[in-house]
Structure 1
Amino acid sequence: MGTLTGILYACLVAYGTGWYLGKWNGNFSLLLFLLTLVTLAYWLAERFVFLPRRQAAASTLATQDATRRAELQRLGIQQVDGNVEEARQRVLAQPWWLDWTAGLFPVILLVFLLRSFLFEPFKIPSGSMIPTLEIGDLILVNKFHYGVRLPVINKKVIDNNPVKRGDVMVFRYPVDPSIDFIKRVVGVPGDEIAYINQKLSVNGQPVPLKALDDYYEEHQRSYAKQFQEDLPGSGNGAGAGAAGAVVNHRILVDPSLPSSYGMRARSFPGSENCRYTAEGVTCKVPAGHYFMMGDNRDNSEDSRFWGFVPDENIVGRAFFVWMNFGSLKRIGAFQ
């Protein structure tokens, strides 16, 4: 078993190294699920096979020692050398390959349950959500906000809150589901979303903008035009554009860029619902899908480029920055 455990750990190290070096895309949810199953198997084997065997061997050792001492005492020998308790503890001790498998099962199980059903940490890898989220922000994602989903297969089994405009959501990238993306929901099923001349409209209603002070981008070492966008958050479907609570959040826009910067007609599921012009794009959001955009409007690959996010790709709602090692003032909730 020690050899088998060594082989398993070697495979784990090789997989993690290749993942870190970018040789292949890893699936942490699947990896954690497999680690939980493997350590569970070792834990069950330890509880019902290996530990009883060691306990039986320790009991036999103690019985043999007691028999030996009784026989020596019968022969008149009172002083007997040897400490059987020390030998018994060595027999009962777990071998290394059980310490590093069965011993880790409770911890891995706890992490698996917390990450699968409650909260998942996520690191912001790019500047597409500046100024709301900056590169290096470590955030928490609420996994049960939109409903309980089975890990690995991501199938929803219990419904919860509906997705609303203005939510900052983590989802599996439709082009490559092994990659997680984070963007803001600007369109829910039934909405008509237009981004024309760098202005957003929901169901024919322009989303109000208010100019703010320029934003200094530390990674770019430059200033960017910053606005407050008042996105209608509640209400679902066409005609609900101006209903319900408004989500106030900041965006960046570069007026010097063309209106349809980087956008062009392309093929993706539901692309027939979109119209591309020199001024921008207009899309009708199909049932069970969402239209996502980054707050850094001219530096974000989002639904304008690769289409809609299906409901089954949802990971959870992002809500809190728990650490940024470069700027502790970043810690806190965000809109």
Structure 2
Amino acid sequence: MANFYSVLLTAITIVAGLIWLYDAKVQKPKRRARVEAEEKRLQQTLSDEAKERLAPQGSIAEFAQSVFPILFVILILRSFVYEPFRIPSASMMPTLLEGDFILVEKFSYSLRDPIWRKKLVEIDTPERGDVAVFKFPPEPSLDFIKRIVGLPGDRIIYRNKTLYIQPACAESMTQCPELEVIERNLERTDGIFFNGATPLQQFREQLGAVSHATLVDPSVGNRSKYYFQQAGTARDEWIVPEGAYFAMGDNRDNSEDSRYWGFVPEENLVGRAVFIWMSFEMDRQASSALPQWIPTGIRWQRLGGVE
């Protein structure tokens, strides 16, 4: 189910709030009336302890009153401010590693309700180079994280492991932008990252104003036959429609992204990844007696902002 945790948190918060409201508006006046009647009968003011014994608040109502403010604050923060995500795969290496825990800024692009995700307030639009979380278009119950490469109207080509972008031609332009090769420089080939036994090449790529690292697997050949085919374009070429974006993983040969399934609709955007707040090493041996999900260590040096 799409937005399962958001729906669950919203439902629990509403139930707790309704219980608290019912107790405050219906049960509390009854308890007060019972205490006042007893005080009138005794002709004296009862202590707080005596009042509690005479007309106690139900345990469920007391619990709801305690947790509702906490749940409400969490719901607001998670829905409109920041939401934590865990990186589950290697598709964004070396920028994000499996075991990284990130904060996603929910208000970067728009404010949406936590259940139906209807836009409440439009704030901004993604910029080229943003690392964005979005609902996976073929299966919106899944959250994906990729880098925004193409903006509406852009022409994108990914050929021979080289990225080309022709920015959209605005009506106010007297001359449309030319197709440009995205600048990249080889940084290292010394086997920091591997695909099996194959060391991956690490490049430094300049995408708009953002400089970031990418990985290329020299053992992987042309995969254009698997690419999403847009009508009227070459197999390895795409024109980004209005209201949509083209997203790619930084681990270029190990990423299921827009090249294979198409574009990210604007309404699928969740937010922008801004901070790594925890990073666990997950390299436990299969022979270990401990479960594989238990971390083997903490990568303190990775904590910080996301490029």
Report TM bin, short chain: 0.7 to 0.9
Partner of 1:331: 303
**1:222–1:39 CA distance, 2 compared to 1 (3 A):** farther
Q: How many residues align?
A: 277
Runs of 5+ consecutive residues of structure 1 not aligned to the other structure: 1-23, 70-82, 233-245
Partner of 1:305: 260
Is contact 1:320-1:333 (8 Å) kept?
Answer: yes
1:213 matches 2:175: no
1:43 matches 2:5: no
Is contact 2:199-2:217 (8 Å) kept?
Answer: no
CA distance in 1 between partners of 2:147 and 2:97 (Å)? 14
**1:181–1:59 CA distance, 2 compared to 1 (3 A):** same
Larger radius of gyration: 1
Of 154, 163, 180, 1:191 maps to 154
Secondary structure of the corresponding residue to residue 126 of structure 1? coil
Partner of 1:164: 127
Partner of 1:202: 165
Instruction: Calculate the aligned-residue CA RMSD, in Å.
Output: 2.4
Partner of 2:226: 264
CA distance in 2 between partners of 1:138 and 1:273 (Å)? 40
Q: Given the two structures, how large is their TM-score scaled by the length of structure 2? A: 0.83
Greater helix content: 1
Secondary structure of the corresponding residue to residue 229 of structure 1? strand
Output aligned runs, 1:206-245, within 5 Å.
Answer: 206-214=181-189, 216-217=192-193, 223-232=199-208
**1:85–1:159 CA distance, 2 compared to 1 (3 A):** closer
CA distance in 1 between partners of 2:255 and 2:55 (Å)? 59
Is contact 1:265-1:275 (8 Å) kept?
Answer: no
CA deviation map 1:286-315 (0-9, x unaligned) = 110000000011111000111100000010
CA distance in 2 between partners of 1:331 and 1:219 (Å)? 25
The one-letter amino acid of 1:316's match is G
In the TM superposition, residue 47 of structure 1 has moved relative to its aligned partner by: 1.2
CA distance in 2 between partners of 1:272 and 1:25 (Å)? 29
CA distance in 2 between partners of 1:308 and 1:138 (Å)? 26
How high is the sequence identity, in percent, across the aligned residues? 40
Output aligned runs, 1:2-81, within 5 Å.
Answer: 27-66=4-43
